Amino acid sequence: MLYAVPLIRGRLVRRYKRFLADVELAEGGVETVHCPNPGAMMGLLASAAPVWLLPAVNPKAKLRLGWELVEADGTLVGINANRPNRLVEEALAADRLPVLSGYAEVRREVRYGLRSRVDLVLTAPDRPPCYVEIKNVHLRRDGHGDDRNDQGGGVGWAEFPDCVTARGARHLDELGNMAEQGCRAVVLFVVQRADCDRLRLATDLDPAFAAAMARALARGVEVACCVCAVTPAGVVIERPIPFDPANLPPVTTSR
């Protein structure tokens, strides 16, 4: 995904009310911009952090700039939570997601379950439909929790979520239902930063989501993870990374 126009540089002043941020622009002045991320954005809100902003395409937009990138921990991080769906679709079209290859048709935002929409349903004549739930990831927390498997060498842990997501836990239970009905069900974590080598759940930040993941895995739901190359020119899915379920709680049957 390449940006249609050059990004505008600035430095973060503050983020507030979830969807707003004040940014000191490199060209001068402080401007309120749209923050397209409802999460906690843990580790990404340092004062004066370099940020990159995208001019709004819609001339009627209330804010003329939207926040896209931030520099954190020495790397560029994509903060736009709306981007991963497009990134996945582009990777599918270019056959750069082997875990989801071989499907002829892609349907978006399909209603299923009791009150949910799944991000993608992939279909092909010779296999069951594949329900794909895409999760945006930007949190990195090295040295947190149980690192008994770490062997050094600069391993970077991506973690999800960065705050409580009851909706996300519900999605996992809905995917489990589809897996038990004979469909393929996949949670795809898209890490919008390139400095991570594997992914685990932030069980301390949302124990309920971790419990839902344990149930989902036991019911046949698959997990796939990938990291992105992030530059001011654009963001693209770069490579797969493993998911480590070692810190998940024991499976319980209540839902």
pLDDT tens digit sequence for 110-122:
999 888 899 999 9
Please tell me the predicted confidence (pLDDT) of residue 114: 82
pLDDT tens digits, one per residue of 48-59: 999 999 999 888
- Give the per-residue pLDDT at 151: 44
Mean pLDDT of 125-137: 97
Give the per-residue pLDDT at 150.
45
Query: Would the pLDDT of 143 be above 50?
Result: yes
Whether residue 42 contacts residue 92, with contact meaning beta carbons closer than 8 Å, is answered with no
**pLDDT tens-digit profile of 6-37?**
999 999 999 999 999 999 999 999 999 999 99
What amino acid occupies position 74? G
- Mean pLDDT for the chain? 93
pLDDT of residue 59: 80
Above pLDDT 70, what percent of the chain? Answer: 93
Dist. CA 84–CA 138, nearest whole Å: 11
Q: How confident is the model at residue 148 (pLDDT cuts 50, 70, 90)?
A: very low
Strands 198-201 and 157-160 turn out to be: parallel
Look at residue 147 and tell me whether its pLDDT is greater than 50. no
For the chain, which domains are there?
Answer: 8-78 (2.40.50.580), 83-241 (3.40.1350.60)
227-254 per-position pLDDT tens digit: 999 999 999 999 999 999 999 999 866 5
Q: In this predicted model, what pLDDT tens digit does every residue of 152-211 receive, in sequence order?
A: 445 689 999 999 999 999 999 999 999 999 999 999 999 999 999 999 999 999 999 999
